[in-house]
Structure 1
């Protein structure tokens, strides 16, 4: 079930394609499904049941989207801050040692968990069928990537990595650190070098927080596309930093 080396190399492109299919939902026309946004569907459901008013439900869904977008951006930035930038964007797997600092003391895959939170936020802007497809496809793909990395790191690092896996959860974070900080890693994160590669994530979070109150999903989608374009420009100019030792 683990991803191949080619899938790992093309992981960002594969994720973009999954999101694109989720937004377009080309199967809707064949299945005669409604093309309303998931945001509207989730807000209408409790309103029809008489639990709360439609306006209050809409605000609740918006707040959920904002929180998911911020959580995704923060987790990915926090995780990236304790890694070499070239490792985050690399087309091949790296394993110079067990990272036991920052979020990696609470869970093993903060970057992948951040992507899942980000997916939950984007799913609100998709048709319901596209949202379900994207969440399931991204979750499955993230797990395949995780299993591939775990297999690679187990073969390369051996017992220290297996001991780390035994103590630190894979995706559901522990509220308390499960292992002491590694003396081989810096104790403080490198936020500037972590923020720029994740500018797309933060752009989406800002789009939800700033444009969501217009209650117009098209505006948020435009913000998402602008964030993606800005991220591509930034990544084109980013130069790999020297590896930490």
Structure 2
């Protein structure tokens, strides 16, 4: 383009900048940013978060934070932009920085990023911390689905804190949050693992009452549990359910 005396457009700059960032070519990326700044060319949020990751993975944590602050202080970052930056830090183990970005987003009244932060904390085995943010979502009335609940329930189950997991389940019921089969599956499998027939069966019945179909993972877990404790009738019932589901799947595959 230079040889042809053509001026690169913003898309060309962003494309090259992205290429530099994923290859962790920090010096080249910074030179290009400088040129874009000189020409007053906008850096979009996707490219911004990509460079944040470049700095983090290059071990330049301070620069990654200053890079985020540049766009935060400009005041034009969207909820999705904050979420992308929270993910950039949180998924690489920098939970403190992810929480600080959340606080920055609160300044801009971007409460929707709480959902992303809760899932990161839950996956980092920090559901007790995540619960505080869930409360903020509840107070702001921005809990629209069961995804943050499910992430936290799974995390508590993983830590063996079934009482906390069940408490969240009851909160969902009281708050009239629509449950899905994933939530039930997590709870059922948790009690199958400790061979607690009563609790596992209770959640199976509640899943049926909610008119949610089971899945192969749930059926196989229940068959294993009931067979082990001698509940052969119940095991046979779920074996039939599993067989019907498998037959239906084969029919669909043949049609496709």
Could you state the TM-score of these two structures normalised by the residue count of structure 2? 0.21
Higher relative contact order (CA 8 A, sep 6+): 1
| Greater fraction helix | 2
